[in-house]
Amino acid sequence: MKKYIEEGFDLERLPLLESLMSLGNGYIGARGYLEEFDYPGSVRGNYMNGIYERIPLNYAEWASGFPMIADRMPNLIDLFNITIFLDEEEVEPDGPIEDFVRELDFEKGLSRRSYTYETDSGKIAKLSFEQLFSFPYKELRSWSLLIEYDGEIEVKNHFDFEIRNMTSEGDPRIASSSIVLIETKDVSYEASEGAIRLKTINSDIEVKIDFVDDGSFDSAAVLTEDELNISYTQEGKLELTRLVKYWDSIRDNECDFIEKEELYKEQKAFLKDFDNKAAIEFLDNPQLDATMQFTEFHLLQATTQDIHGNISAKGLSGEGYEGHYFWDTEMFLFPVWLFWDKKRAKNLLLYRFNILPQARERARELGHRKGACFPWRTISGIESSSYFPAGTAQYHVSFDIAYTFIQYWLATKDLDYLAKYAMELVIETARTALEIGSFQNDGFHIHGVTGPDEYTAMVSDNYYTNKMAQYNLQWAVKMWHILEAERPSEWLRLNEHLQIREDEIEAMGRAAQEMVYIYDEEKGILGQDSTFLSKAQWPKESEARPLLLHYHPLTIYRYQILKQADTALALFLVPDVDEEVMKRTFYYYEAINTHDSSLSPSVTVLVACRLKDDVLAYKHFMDSVNLDLKDLNRNTADGLHMANIGGSILSVLAGFGGLSLDEEGLHIDPYVHERLGRIKIRFTWRSSVLEVLISEDMTDIKKISGSPAEVIVNGERRLLGQKAALFDLDGVLTGTSDNHYEAWKRMSTDLGLILPEKFRDSLRGISRMESLDRILAYFGLDYSDDEKQELADRKNNYYQESISHFTPDKLYPGARELLEEIKEKGFLLGLVSASQNAAQLVENMEIEDLFDVIIDPTEVERGKPFPDTFLKASEVLGLPAEDCLGIEDARAGIRSIKTAGMTAVGIGDEDLDEADAVFATIADASSYIINWLEA
C-alpha cells in the first residue's frame, strides 16, 4: 500500500504535518494545512515555483559588491479558508473530533482526510476532504469537500485579499520580517466561477487564478474591496468540488479546465509510468520501503516541470530560506534526476543556463574581468545573500553547476547540448577559477573562499573548492577540443561569441595541472584548507545545536569544527585519491562533523559505502531518510529538507547501488548492507530503463525497456537487453515476388509451357531449386541435375535482369524509416531471405549498411520452412533465439521463424495464423516491432 497515513488528531503536531502532508506538482504547491481550522503554528501556504518578489537588503555598513535587493517567494491567496457550521454550530479544532485519518496516496497522487464530529445535539457528522495537484497538467488543481450530516450544513469560504508570508524571530534560516509581497488587483465571482488577479509589488509578475465550483449546494457570495465571502448551504449532504487553474506572466501558460475524473485518471497513469522508470524498493523492510516512497513522492512534487523554476530548499512545502534555490540542487537533487528523468534534469540545467547573464554581471560586480559567478541563493538569478563570508564567498557554487553540466554530457554525449549550452557555461565558470586563483612558485592557489562547511569561512586552498575548480578547468579544455573536432562551425561561433584565445585554454589546462592541495604529512590526510589543521579542536559541550544559533560566527571559525561534510564531499564527487588517504581523511573529518546541516548525513553515507563502513553507512542513512518524518532537526514544520530528501535517494542510487559516471560510461558497483536487505532500483540510462536487484547472494541487472544498454558492472563491461529484428526481403521490405514469377514464367515459355497464375504466390519464401522442382512436377517433367541447374541459372539471369534497375524508391513505404530507427536505437538487424540475390538487391536499394548480417540461403543445408536460416542469423549475431524477432510474408517463412523458437510477425496475408502478430504492411507493423525490441 503506497500511502503515508496519519491517524489521530494532535493539535501540537499539526504544523509539522503541514510540511509532511504538503502537496504539489513542481509548479504549484501547498502546505497540508487544515482548511477549516486556525491553530498555533499554522502557515496557510500556497506557492508557485519561480515566482519572486524583490525586497531591499539593509546593511549597517555597506561595501562595494554587496547586493542591495533580494528575491523572496510570495505566498499566494488562500482559496480554501473555510469555516464549517452544523445546525449553526461551528466545527472547532478543540471539539469532539473522532476517527481522524489523513493520508498521502502515492499511487493516485492526492491527499485525503476524514473525521467525525459530534455536535452539542449529539448528532454525528462525517467530513471528508480530498485534494490533487496534477502532474500531467501542471496548471490544474482539484479540491473536494463532502459533509454528511442529518441537519443543516453551511460552509463559509473567506478570501482575504491581504496576503502575508511567514516569519520567525531568531532563526536566520527563516525571514524575520512580515511583509506583503503580492497584491490582489482584481477579483470576480459569479455563477460559481471565480477569477483572481495578483501582482508582485516590485518585480511586476502577474498571477491569475481561476476556479469553478461544482456540487450539491446553494451558494451566495459577497464581494468587497478587502475580501470575498462565499456561503455554501445544504441539508443532509453537501458536496463541493473546486477546480483551479493557475497562470503567471513569466510562463504565459494559458490552459483549459479538465474534468475531475479525467484529472484523476491521468494522474494515476502518470505516476504508474513514473514508478516503472524510477523507483527504489526495500524488499525485506516494509517500513523503510514506505519511508522511501514518501521521500520519492516529495522529490517529484518539489521539482520544476519547466526551465523557469528549480527546486527550492524547502520545495513547495514551506517558506524556510524564503523559497531560494541553492547549490543543493546541483549536488543532491540533480544527480537523482539524471538517473530518473533526463527531461527534468535538463530543465534544471537550462534554468542555470538562462541566468548565466546575471552570473556574468555578478562576476563584474565582484571585480572579475571575465567569467560568471552564480549566486549562493536566488530565485531570479540575482545574489540574495547579504552575508558574504558564508554566501558570495562560496565560489564553489559556480564549479558545482559546471560539474552537473559535465555529468549530463557524460550521461548523454549529446553534441547539440554541448554546443548550445554546456560549452559556454563550462568555459565561463572555468574563467572564474582563473580570476580568483593565481600561479605561484609552488602551483595554482585559490584564496578568499568558503567551502561547503559554513563553520569555516574566507580561507585559502579549500580542498573542495580547488578540486571542483580543477574538474571544471579540465573539462573546459576537453570539451573545447571535442567541440572543435565534432562541430567545427559551432566551435567557431562560440570562439567568436566568447572571444576565447588559445592561451586562455592553455592557462586553464595549466591551472588544472598545477592546482594546489594541502596535505598533512604527519596525519596523512588532506587539509580542508591551508589553516584548518592548525586550529584548536572545539572545546565546548555538544548539546547546543545547531552552533549557528548559539555562538558568534567568529567563535566558530576559530576551531576545527564542521557544520557539514566538506572535504568528504569532494572525495565522493572526484574520487581520484589513494584509498588509504581517502580513509584517513574521511574519518578525521567525520569525527569533528556536527552534521548541523541537513546536507551532511547523506554525504557520509556515500563515502562510507565506498569504504564499505557498515556502521556509518547505516547510521547516517537512517538519520537521513527519517530526518523529516521523525523531525530529527526539530524544524521540519518550516518545510521539508529537499537536499536531504535528494541525498537520501542518492545514498541508495550512488551509495548502496554504486551508480557513477565517467568517460567510460555507467559504472554499477553495488555495496550490499545486510541490515537493509534486498534492494531493487529502477532508473534510466540513456534510452533504456534498467533494474538492479542487490542482495547478499547476487547482483542481478537487467534491461526493463528501451534500447540495449552497455554498462560496467564491478569493472566488467556488459551489454544488456540486446535484441535483433530479422527481416525477409521480398514482400516485407520490397516487392520482388512478381519479378520472380515473371522470370519463372519466361523460363517456362522457353520450354513451350504456360506457367499458371497460381505460382505467383505459391513460390514465395522457398528456394530457387525447390521452386523449379514444383514447376516441373506440375507439368510432369523430369530433368537431370545438370539440366535443372541450367534452367535455374537461366531463371536467375532473367530475374537479375529485371531487378538490375531497382533503386531506393522500390522499398515499401516506411521500410527505410523502420530500419533506420531500429539501428539508431542500437538493436541488431538481419536479412534472412530465400533469394540468393538478396545482397545485390539491398545494395541497389542502398540499405546494405543497415544490416549487421545478411544470410545467404546457400550458407545452410535446409531452407525455409526449416529454421536453419533464422538460427544461422541468431548464431552470427550472438543472440539466443528468444531475443530475435522474425518478419515474414509467407507461410513457409513464418513456420521457419516459429520452429527456430522466435517471435514471428506476418506481413500482408491475414491467413498467416501461425504468426504472433499480422499486419497489412511493414509500416503498420513498425510500432509493434519497436515495442517488442524495447520491451
CA distance 556 to 560: 8
DSSP 175-195: -------EEEEEEEEETTEEE
Q: What is the CA radius of gyration of the chain?
A: 34
Residue 589 lies in a domain: no
**Domain co-membership, 827 together with 732:** yes
pLDDT of res. 56: 95
Give the CATH number, domain containing residue 763.
3.40.50.1000
**From the CB of residue 814, how many other CB atoms can be counted at a distance below 10 Å?**
16
**Domain co-membership, 462 together with 346:** yes
The 10s digit of each residue's pLDDT in 712-742 is 999 999 999 999 999 998 889 987 777 888 8
**Domain co-membership, 73 together with 161:** yes
Which range (43-57, 761-775, 841-855) has the least confidence? 761-775
Q: Cell 555538544, residue? A: 542
Which range (167-176, 181-190, 202-211, 610-619) has the least confidence? 167-176
DSSP 697: S
Instruction: State which of 668, 697, 720 marks the end of a domain.
Output: 720
The 10s digit of each residue's pLDDT in 142-151 is 999 999 999 9
pLDDT of res. 842: 85
pLDDT at residue 765 tops 70: no
**Domain co-membership, 443 together with 400:** yes
Q: Where are the beta strands (DSSP E) in 10-107?
A: 23-24, 28-30, 46-48, 53-56, 69-72, 82-86, 89-90, 97-105
Residue 588 lies in a domain: no
CB-based contacts of 333: which residues, under 8 Å, 6+ apart?
299, 303, 311, 348, 642, 643, 646
**Domain co-membership, 469 together with 426:** yes
Q: Cell 515474414, residue? A: 888
The 10s digit of each residue's pLDDT in 359-386 is 999 999 999 999 999 999 999 999 999 9
Q: Are 27 and 139 in contact (CB under 8 A)?
A: yes
Of 91, 82, 89, the closest CA to residue 156 belongs to: 82
**Domain co-membership, 332 together with 469:** yes
Catalytic residue among 454, 710, 888, 934, which?
454
pLDDT of res. 911: 82
pLDDT of res. 120: 97
Residue 658 lies in a domain: yes
pLDDT at residue 127 tops 70: yes
pLDDT at residue 612 tops 80: yes
pLDDT of res. 861: 86
Instruction: State which of 266, 293, 312 marks the end of a domain.
Output: 266
pLDDT at residue 484 tops 90: yes
pLDDT of res. 725: 98
Banded model confidence at residue 174, pLDDT cuts 50, 70, 90: low
Mean pLDDT confidence for 641-658: 99
Cis peptide bond upstream of 865, omega within 30:
yes
pLDDT of res. 166: 75
Mean pLDDT confidence for 769-785: 90
Amino acid at 798: Y
> What does each C-alpha distance from 715 to 261, 664, 665, 667, 689 come to in angstroms?
50, 11, 11, 8, 21
**Domain co-membership, 321 together with 363:** yes
Give the CATH number, domain containing residue 674.
1.50.10.10
CA distance 213 to 246: 15
**Domain co-membership, 796 together with 705:** no
pLDDT of res. 763: 78
pLDDT at residue 43 tops 70: yes
The 10s digit of each residue's pLDDT in 245-271 is 999 999 999 999 999 999 999 999 999
Domain count, the chain: 3
**Domain co-membership, 605 together with 710:** yes
**Domain co-membership, 730 together with 679:** no
pLDDT at residue 113 tops 90: yes
The 10s digit of each residue's pLDDT in 401-425 is 999 999 999 999 999 999 999 999 9
CA distance 665 to 11: 52
More confident residue, 935 or 428: 428
CB-based contacts of 521: which residues, under 8 Å, 6+ apart?
none
Beta-bridge mates of residue 887: 727, 905
pLDDT of res. 669: 97
The 10s digit of each residue's pLDDT in 856-905 is 778 888 888 899 999 999 999 999 999 999 999 989 899 999 999 999 99
pLDDT at residue 175 tops 70: no
pLDDT of res. 176: 54
pLDDT of res. 169: 58
For residue 496, which phi and psi values (nearest 5 degrees)? Answer: -70, -45
pLDDT of res. 168: 62
The 10s digit of each residue's pLDDT in 528-580 is 999 999 999 998 776 788 999 999 999 999 999 999 999 999 999 999 999 99
Instruction: State which of 266, 293, 310 marks the end of a domain.
Output: 266
pLDDT at residue 602 tops 90: yes
Amino acid at 541: E
DSSP 366-388: TT-SS-----SSBSSSS---S-T
More confident residue, 834 or 852: 852
For residue 51, which phi and psi values (nearest 5 degrees)? Answer: -90, 135
pLDDT of res. 58: 92
* pTM for the model: 0.91
Residue 353 lies in a domain: yes
Banded model confidence at residue 178, pLDDT cuts 50, 70, 90: low
CB-based contacts of 182: which residues, under 8 Å, 6+ apart?
53, 74, 75, 76, 163, 198, 199, 200, 201, 207
CA distance 438 to 886: 64
Q: Are 680 and 697 in contact (CB under 8 A)?
A: no
Residue 576 lies in a domain: no
pLDDT at residue 834 tops 80: no
**From the CB of residue 910, how many other CB atoms can be counted at a distance below 10 Å?**
10
pLDDT at residue 388 tops 60: yes
Give the CATH number, domain containing residue 253.
2.70.98.40
pLDDT at residue 65 tops 60: yes
Residue 579 lies in a domain: no
Residue 206 lies in a domain: yes
pLDDT at residue 170 tops 70: no
**Domain co-membership, 709 together with 735:** no
Which range (238-242, 835-839, 924-928) has the least confidence? 835-839
Burial 675-685 (b: 16+ CB within 10 A, else e): ebbebbbbbbb
For the chain, the average pLDDT equals 95
User: Rounded to a whole number, what is the largest CA-CA distance in the chain?
Assistant: 113
Mean pLDDT confidence for 474-482: 99
pLDDT of res. 807: 83
Q: Tally the residues of the chain.
A: 935
Element (H, E) at 444: strand 443-446
**Domain co-membership, 300 together with 440:** yes
At 320 the three-state DSSP class reads helix
Residue 480 lies in a domain: yes
pLDDT of res. 1: 67
> What does each C-alpha distance from 827 to 286, 677, 702 come to in angstroms?
38, 35, 16
The 10s digit of each residue's pLDDT in 226-249 is 999 999 999 999 999 999 999 999
pLDDT of res. 668: 98
882 catalytically annotated: no
Strands 659-662 and 884-888: what pairing?
unpaired
Q: Are 196 and 186 in contact (CB under 8 A)?
A: yes
- Range of 257's domain? 3-266
CA distance 887 to 832: 9
